[in-house]
Amino acid sequence: MTYPDNILYQVTKPARYTGGEWNSIVKDWDKTDIKIALSYPDLYEIGMSNMALPILYELLNSQSDVLAERVFAPWVDMETILRTRGVPLASLESKHPLKDFDVIGFSLGYELTYTNVLNMLDLAQIPVLAAERDDSHPIVIAGGTCALNPEPMADFIDFFVIGDGEEVLPELLACLRDWKGKAASKKQLLRQVATISGIYVPSLYQVEYQADGLFKSITPTVPQCKSSIKRRIVPQLPPPVTSPVVPYIEVVHDRGAIEIQRGCSCGCRFCQAGIIYRPVRERPQEEILQAVGEIITNCGYNEVSLVSLCTNDYPGIDKLVVNLSHRYQDHNLTLSLPSLRTDSSSVRLVDSLPSHRKIGLTFAPEAGSQRLRRTINKYVPEDEILQTATAAFAKGWNTLKLYFMLGLPTETIDDVQEIVQLVDKIGSLGKAKGKRPRVRVSVSTFVPKPHTPFQWVAQASQPELDAKHELLKLGLRRTGSRLSWPDPKVSLLEAVLSRGDRRLGKVIYRAWQLGSTFDAWDEHFNYENWLRAFDETGLEPGFYAQRERPLDEPLPWAHIDVGVTTAFLKQEYQRAQDGRETPDCRNKACNACGLERWQPECQQKKKLSQQATLPSKENLGTLTIQSPFN
């Protein structure tokens, strides 16, 4: 089945729904046993820029008995037509309705896409609540960063994959083959997958709350389930995807992408990615060099992004850039390096890129004062920030974009004023170089995230944020810089959903019933809907977002073991209060974050650290640490 032309003629960007792109894979539907719809709960342009989707698409389609097809959230114009005509949501490849697939797998990377998950299921004419789906319906699964607190979405998802999907896939596919082969029930499948490490089946766990409304516990109801779900970690990055689907319309990241490393060891205390993607796994240089060539050949791209959480930290990044420039000099190759550290080596690095345009440089100091940068463990001395700006202006950049966060733990008005002062100093440096510098300041609201050292802290209240925002606005106006600040109500909702429990399912469901979808889109975000949904379900947003949680309060995501222990997070929380830094464990000693329990490299590193801190009597002071990462 395909969407009739008279539907496609009436919507913006019909190519969002037509499929048929270069490198897309269409398998024989009737001859393939297991059918999986890879679903992204946002627009095509956003989903096609996601890094995980092509990996799963390629891995699944490499199995002869599996087909994987894509589906994205239809924009409102398409939704209206589908609903009016009763046409079910279908996949891009074979155009089969989603309800004909065995499995629908959602990628959950942002809490504000949750209502889109419900909407996509409903548009597919599949019951939204897991409890209302029976053996005739597809199994609905989810993975991605949000799965690390799965509870708010537990009512809608049959099971969650926790951690690297590549690692779980072989065992999961074996279960699915068995299930299909025996025509077993959904109930049997769920009990079977619950035995796989890294899979969480929420319906097989019971949640209890205390009399005062606080969360109490989550316990398995069947012997197959473990009380703690371990995050799966792929020890070595699988080969990069070098034949990804090439969109026919412009998408957010319109270029090739090679993941050069996974994980980050910097240890910024607000950053969830820095915890949940540990340990760092690097891709060998030669593999990257070859992959870039293949992506040029297979996709026709002449721009490739070297993707990493912190690109500077990739060992030998300068050499890699030089080697890529030499090897592909005939291809007019443009390289892009996202996520650069605020230091002058980043400026040198970007300046050394082939065919770079000096449009703008982006850095994220996150906080205006040195004190606060130390508290969040993203310490960069002010001198270094100013040297970075000086180097950028000297190399010919006119525009600098700086990212900060408002409402960080322990932040005072003085810290906010220091943002203004820092921006002012940077602007003056540009003028001293005879330029008319443009300094753009982007400020987001701090959202405390699960599995981070700040998972217990309260998000700042609206009046507090408003006062700080006003101060920034006035101060930055004097410096002539431009300020952008997204709606803090969006961040409030993000904070609620990030650290929520299973009761929030009712709020999400009600907000969706009231018409909320595309909550991450300004023009669609409807705060009134959410307030009404909270009110009708008897829950309070402030209870989840703006309440400081005692360190011994049971947390709704504590049954998800990401590898980093609560003891380490508490220690980091305390160090933040004391204004103490924790060094990056990549080139310094192991901080014993908990991963050393699982990871052989970390075990080795911890052993070396202990030897270094506990020198033998005969050999006092002469021990040196050999990092296994070097």
Residue nearer to ligand SF4 on the CB measure, 264 or 292: 264
Kindly state the smallest distance separating residue 457's Cβ from ligand SF4, in Å. 17
Give the residue among 334, 254, 292 at the shortest CA–CA distance from 21. 254
Least separation in angstroms between residue 582's CB and ligand SF4 is: 9
**Euclidean distance between CA atoms 592 and 176, whole angstroms:** 37
Taking the least distance from each CB to ligand SF4, the nearer of 47 and 279 is 279
In the complex, minimum distance from the CB of residue 607 to ligand SF4, in angstroms, rounded to a whole number: 11
- To ligand SF4, the closest distance from the beta carbon of 309 in angstroms equals 4
- What is the C-alpha separation between 250 and 257, in angstroms, rounded? 15
- Binding positions for ligand SF4, rule: CB under 6 A: 264-268, 271, 273-274, 278-279, 309-310, 378, 585, 590-593, 595-596, 599, 602, 605-606
* Residue placing its CB nearer to ligand SF4 in the complex, 490 or 590: 590
Q: How far is the CB of 573 from ligand SF4 (least distance, A)?
A: 16
Q: How far is the CB of 588 from ligand SF4 (least distance, A)?
A: 9
What would the two tokens of residue 220 be? 């398995």
Question: Could you tell me if 35 and 29 are in contact, meaning their C-beta atoms sit under 8 angstroms apart?
Answer: yes
Distance in angstroms (rounded) separating the CA atoms of residues 299 and 296 = 6
Question: Which residue number is nearest to ligand SF4 in terms of Cβ?
Answer: 274
Token duo for residue 321: 């850039």
- If DSSP codes are grouped into helix, strand and coil, which group holds residue 229? strand
3-class SS of residue 416: helix
Cβ-in-10-Å burial (0-12, 13-18, 19+) of 620 comes to exposed
Q: Cβ neighbours of residue 348 under 8 Å, at least 6 residues apart?
A: 318, 391
Residue 185 structure tokens: 């029930």
CA separation for the pair 354, 340 (Å, rounded): 17
Q: Contact 146/272 with Cβ under 8 angstroms?
A: no
Report the distance separating Cα 332 and Cα 349, nearest Å: 18
- 280 in Cβ contact with 586 (< 8 Å): yes
Shorter beta-carbon distance to ligand SF4: residue 98 or 569: 569
Of 515 and 600, nearer to ligand SF4 (C-beta) is: 600
Q: Give 141 or 569: the residue with its C-beta nearer to ligand SF4.
A: 569
CB closer to ligand SF4, 547 vs 570: 570
Distance CA 472, CA 195 (A): 52
Q: Cβ 399 to ligand SF4, closest distance in Å? A: 22
The Cα 20–Cα 26 span in angstroms is 9
Give whichever of 249 and 273 is closer to ligand SF4, judged by the CB atom. 273
Give whichever of 56 and 271 is closer to ligand SF4, judged by the CB atom. Answer: 271
**To the nearest 5 percent, what fractions of the chain are helix, strand and coil?**
40, 15, 45
In whole angstroms, how close is the CB of 593 to ligand SF4 at the nearest point?
A: 3
| Closer to ligand SF4 by Cβ: residue 506 or 597 | 597
For residue 199, the minimal CB distance to ligand SF4 (Å) is: 24
368 touches 404 (CB < 8 A):
yes
Q: Tell me the closest approach of the beta carbon of residue 364 to ligand SF4, in angstroms.
A: 7
Backbone angles phi, psi at 478, to 5 degrees: -65, -30
Element (H, E) at 560: strand 560-561
Q: How far is the CB of 420 from ligand SF4 (least distance, A)?
A: 23
Q: Which CB, 420 or 602, lies closer to ligand SF4?
A: 602
How many other CB atoms are there within 10 angstroms of residue 413's CB atom?
A: 11
- Smallest distance from ligand SF4 to CB 448, Å: 14
Amino acid letter at 101? F
Distances (CA, A) of 56 to 128, 130, 241, 406: 24, 23, 10, 36
Report the residue number, 205 or 573, with the smaller CB distance to ligand SF4.
Answer: 573
- Give the integer Cα–Cα distance in Å for 533 and 511: 5
The radius of gyration computed from the CA coordinates of the chain, to the nearest angstrom, equals 25
Shortest gap between Cβ of 338 and ligand SF4 (angstroms)? Answer: 11
Q: Least Å distance between CB 565 and ligand SF4?
A: 10
Looking at beta carbons only, is 261 or 265 nearer to ligand SF4?
265
DSSP state of 30: G
**HEC readout, 313-366:** HCCCHHHHHHHHHHHCHHHCCEEECCCCCCCHHHHHHHHCCCCCCCCCEEEEEE
242 vs 591, beta carbon nearer ligand SF4: 591
